[in-house]
Structure 1
Amino acid sequence: MKFIGLDLAWSARNPSGAAVLEESGDGAVLTSSGVLGDDAEVLAFLDAHTSGPCLVAVDAPLSVPNLTGQRPAEAQLAAVFGKYQAGAHPANRTLLGRYNGGVLRGEWLRDALAERGIWDEPADVADTQARVCLEVYPHAAMVALFGLERTLKYKRKKQGREVMLDAWDEYHRHLSALTGAKPPLTGLDALLAVSPGGLKGAALKNHEDEGDAVMCAYIALYAHRFPARCEVFGSVAEGYILTPTLPERWKLT
């Protein structure tokens, strides 16, 4: 089984993070990570890694039937994770249609994967022969997996660089701790050897995208091993988000 993470940019003109985990013992090892370019490069990467059983976890809306507003998935996620500042951006066709000539990139990817026999079906996440794609959201997952009181502020926003770099230090510590987590993840040495303090501009954004793709892939691994510890907000028909959920909600899923 391979677990593939994509931090998919809404516009094909922007880079997307990508990562591949391969099953190893009771966990997985990171075997590939980096950034991808246009649609052709994304598909070439997927074609190289999805010949067998695989879960492809994508941080981008895979189904957006609503013209305006938000999907039920975002509203339901916010009801649980909003107090941790981990609500997702509203997804609608008007907003996302501003990119790629009106073609929603997540839906394009979902359809391209379906043509390759990889189906958008979160109910099959535990199947050892699954060929499934999933919509995921790393920020909510980090809250649940890392026991955070609020999301890590490592994104390039308006906060000061010192705040951002402190958040990066914490993010790297949590990623490093995955070597002893259940399930464990190894092979992160090269990624964690990068110092965000020495990066600016596109280099920093690429590191961010790559790290988020690793988190997407780990969400797929975690959901495969512990489906009862995960929650699906929304529905396949109206759009959904799968994420590891809070421990107090495990018995409710």
Structure 2
Amino acid sequence: MNFIGLDLAWSVRNPSGGAVVALEGGGGRLSEAALLGDDAEVLAFLDRHAGPGCIVAIDAPLRVPNETGRRPAEADLGAVFGRFQAGAHPTNRRRVGDASGSVRGERLVAALEERGFVHDPRLVAGEQARRVVEVYPHPAMVSLFGLARTLKYKNKGQDKVILHGAWAELHAHLKALETAEPPLHGLDTLLGTDITPLRGRSLKNHEDRIDAVFCAYIALYAWHWGPARTEIFGTLEGGYILSPTLPERWAGA
């Protein structure tokens, strides 16, 4: 069973992050973190790593029926995670579509469905399946790391001390996943990267890989716990976001 994370750029002109976490014992181990280009390269990466059992978790809108405004998913997510500064930006076809009106996430889902994947976030814990789901790292980090607010590792224009501190905190939280339930191993090389000299594209490349790894972990976590500790914001028909939810919202809490 593999768990693949994609930090998918909305435009094929920008690199996307891809990561593969393989099921190992009761947890997962990172086997690859890569930078990917156009749709063909993304699909080739998925074809290499997707076995009979595979969950692909994508940080990008996968279903956008609305031309303007925002999806109910963003409103529902914001009602729970807005106080942590972890709400999602409004998503609509005018914002995320290309010149032809096509949404990259929707194209990718269609290609995966042709390969036998099912686009459905309603995961059953421990069930082998081929699924593709939409995720969003910020609320997941709040839930999994117990954050009071999101880590500001993406704010490139801020003071370098604050930026580097956010990266150090993020690396520490990811390292701590070795003792989480489920655990994640194999990040030593990636987390050993010194980000202090990185600028521009080199820093963004590291960010894309890290976000892809975290998306893969969200897939592992959702598969491990199912609806007991995850939540679907929005609907499959109108657009949704699947995320680990706050402990206070766990089933039976």
Interval of TM-score (by shorter of Structure 1 and Structure 2): over 0.9
State the 4+ residue runs in structure 1 displaced beyond 6 angstroms.
none
Which digits, 9 at most, give the CA deviation of each residue in 1:55-95, with x for residues without a partner? 00000000000110000000000000000000011110111
Contact 1:55 1:125 in 2 (8 A): no
What percentage of residue pairs aligned between the two structures are identical?
60
Cα distance, 1:158 vs structure 2? 2.8
Which digits, 9 at most, give the CA deviation of each residue in 1:123-174, with x for residues without a partner? 1353522100010000000000000000000004432122111000000000
Structure-1 residue corresponding to 2:209: 210
Structure-2 residue corresponding to 1:54: 54
- Aligned partner letter, 2:41: E
CA distance in structure 1 between the aligned counterparts of 2:179 and 2:193, rounded to whole angstroms: 21
Task: Provide TM-score, normalisation by structure 2.
Answer: 0.97
1:132-143 pair list within 5 angstroms: 132-143=131-142
- Aligned partner letter, 2:31: T
Gaps of 5+ in 2: none
- After TM superposition, the structure 1 stretch with the greater mean CA deviation from structure 2, 74-83 or 46-55, is 46-55
Structure-1 residue corresponding to 2:167: 168
Structure-1 residue corresponding to 2:34: 34
Structure-1 residue corresponding to 2:178: 179
Structure-2 residue corresponding to 1:12: 12
Going from structure 1 to structure 2, the CA distance change for 1:199 and 1:61 (only over 3 Å counts) comes to same
User: CA RMSD for the aligned pairs?
Assistant: 1.3
Going from structure 1 to structure 2, the CA distance change for 1:107 and 1:151 (only over 3 Å counts) comes to same
Alignment partner of 1:148 is 2:147: yes
Contact 1:156 1:164 in 2 (8 A): yes
State how many pairs are aligned: 252
Contact 1:16 1:209 in 2 (8 A): yes
Structure-2 residue corresponding to 1:240: 240
- Aligned partner letter, 1:128: E
Question: Of Structure 1 and Structure 2, which has the larger fraction of its residues in helix?
Answer: 1
Contact 1:3 1:57 in 2 (8 A): yes
Task: Determine helix, strand or coil for the equivalent of 1:214.
Answer: helix
- After TM superposition, the structure 1 stretch with the greater mean CA deviation from structure 2, 156-165 or 185-194, is 156-165
Structure-2 residue corresponding to 1:110: 109
Cα distance, 1:251 vs structure 2? 2.2
CA distance in structure 2 between the aligned counterparts of 1:212 and 1:100, rounded to whole angstroms: 27
Task: Determine helix, strand or coil for the equivalent of 2:241.
Answer: strand
CA distance in structure 1 between the aligned counterparts of 2:237 and 2:187, rounded to whole angstroms: 36
Task: Determine helix, strand or coil for the equivalent of 1:123.
Answer: coil
Contact 1:2 1:53 in 2 (8 A): yes
Cα distance, 1:39 vs structure 2? 1.0
- After TM superposition, the structure 1 stretch with the greater mean CA deviation from structure 2, 127-136 or 202-211, is 127-136
- Aligned partner letter, 2:27: G
Gaps of 5+ in 1: none
Cα distance, 1:252 vs structure 2? 6.8
- Aligned partner letter, 1:238: G
- Aligned partner letter, 2:233: F
Going from structure 1 to structure 2, the CA distance change for 1:83 and 1:183 (only over 3 Å counts) comes to same
Contact 1:11 1:100 in 2 (8 A): no
Alignment partner of 1:85 is 2:88: no
- After TM superposition, the structure 1 stretch with the greater mean CA deviation from structure 2, 2-11 or 116-125, is 116-125
Task: Determine helix, strand or coil for the equivalent of 2:217.
Answer: helix
Contact 1:54 1:130 in 2 (8 A): yes
CA distance in structure 2 between the aligned counterparts of 1:178 and 1:17, rounded to whole angstroms: 20
Contact 2:123 2:222 in 1 (8 A): no
Cα distance, 1:198 vs structure 2? 1.8
